[in-house]
Amino acid sequence: MKNKKSSIRLYVGIIIFFIIFIAIPVVFNVFSIDVLPMTFIGAAMGAVITIMITNFLLERQSATQEKLLEKQSEAQDKLLEKQSKTDEQKKYHLKIFEKKSVYFQEFIDLVWYIWTEEKITCEQYEKLTSAYYKNLMIYIKDENRLHDIGEAITKLGDCLENESNDIVKIIHENVINIINKLSEDLETGGQIIPTQIAEHKNKLFPVKFRKELLKSFNDSLVSDNSDIFENGQWQKWEEGKNINHDDMVFNFKNYKGCSIRFGFVYEKGVYHKNFYVFLIIPFGKSYHSFNRFRCGLDNSLLNRRIELNHNNVFLGKNNDDIEIPSFNFSSEKLNEISNKYDYHQISKDLAQRATALFSDLRTVKDNLLIIELLEKYYEK
C-alpha cells in the first residue's frame, strides 16, 4: 500500500513538472501559445532523430566490437592450437632424444669396452654392427657423420681376432672417432682430445704392464710349478745403501722365507739393463748352511742373494730363443714399449722363458739345482 502511494506521487510529480516545463516559455514570452505545439513537435522529432542516430551508432559500435572480439577469440584459438601442436612436437622430440641417447650410450659402452680390452672378437664385432644398423642409422640424419662412423666400424673389422701394438693404435683411433661423432650428433659439446687421452694412457700404462707381467708369470711359472710356488706379487726392497729392487716375488710353499724373484735393479734412480732372477734365502740361525752360496756386497758382506749361473732373463740360453726387447720402468723405456711393442706378448714371452729357465737354474758353487739346494740345506 505504501509503494502504491509512492508511485502515484511520482506520476503526479512528473505531470506537474511537465506542465511547469510547458508553461514557463509561455509565461515568460519565450514562445507564444500558438507555436508551442509546433515547437514541442519539432523538439520531439529532434529527440527522436537524435535517439535514432545514437542507436544506429551504438549498434555499429557494438557490431564492430563483436567482430573485434570474434577475431581476437579466433586468434586466441589459433594461438592455443599452435601452442598445443608445439608442445606435442616438443614432447615427441624429447621422447626421440631420450631413446636416441640411450642407444648412443649403449653403443659408446660397447666400443669403450673394446678400447679397454685393446682387441676385438668376432662376437663383439657382430654386436657392434648389429647395434649400428638397428639403433644408430635411423637416428643419424647427417650423411657425412653416418659415413664416418661406418668407416670407423669397418676399420675395427680389420682388427678382428688380432693383437699387436699397431692393432691397438687402430682400435684406439677409431673408437675415439666413433665417440666424437656420436657426441656431435647429440650436440652435447663434449669431445675426446687424442693428446689428453694419450697422456692419461701413459699414466696408466706402467700399472697395466706390471699387472700383465705378474699375470703371465702366475699363469706360466706358478701354474707349471703349483706344488712349489705361491702366487707372486710385486715388491720393492733395498739391498745395501744404494741398491734397490723392483721385483715379482714368488715364495716357496715348503721353504719359509725363501723366494725366487724376477725384476729390476736400480741405483740412484738409474736402472740396470738386465731383467734379473734372484734366489733369496734369509739370514738367521736356520739358514747358516746357505752362507757359502751367497753373493757378497763389495765382495765381503753376506747378503740374501744366492749366486746363480744365469741371472738375465732377457738373454735366452739358445740361439733360437725368441728375441725379447729389453725394458725397465723408466719413462723412456715404458714409452718405447707402449708405442712400438705389444706388452701382452712381451709379458707372455718373458714368463715362458723364466719358466723354462727355472728348471735349469743352478748355483755357481756346487752346481746344484734350486730345488736340490733347498732340499739339501734347508733346516726344518
Asked if residue 293 lies in contact with residue 307, where contact means CB atoms within 8 angstroms, the answer is yes
Q: Fill in the amino acid letter for 192.
A: I
Location of C-alpha cell 584459438: 77
Alpha helices in 118-164 (DSSP H): 122-131, 143-157
Return the pLDDT at 143.
86
Instruction: Identify the segments of the chain with pLDDT beneath 70.
Output: 1-7, 10-14, 17-19, 21-49, 55-56, 77, 80-81, 84-85, 188-190, 194-198, 297-302, 318-320, 380
pTM to 2 decimal places: 0.64
For residue 243, what pLDDT is reported? 85
**H runs (alpha helix) in 218-316:** 223-224
pLDDT of residue 30: 60
Measured CA distances, 209 to 88, 205, 271 (Å): 55, 6, 17
- Which grid coordinates belong to 209? 704392464
The cell numbers describing 182, all together, are: 656420436
pLDDT digits (tens, 9 = 90+) for 29-88: 665 666 556 666 666 666 656 777 776 677 777 777 777 777 777 777 677 667 766 777
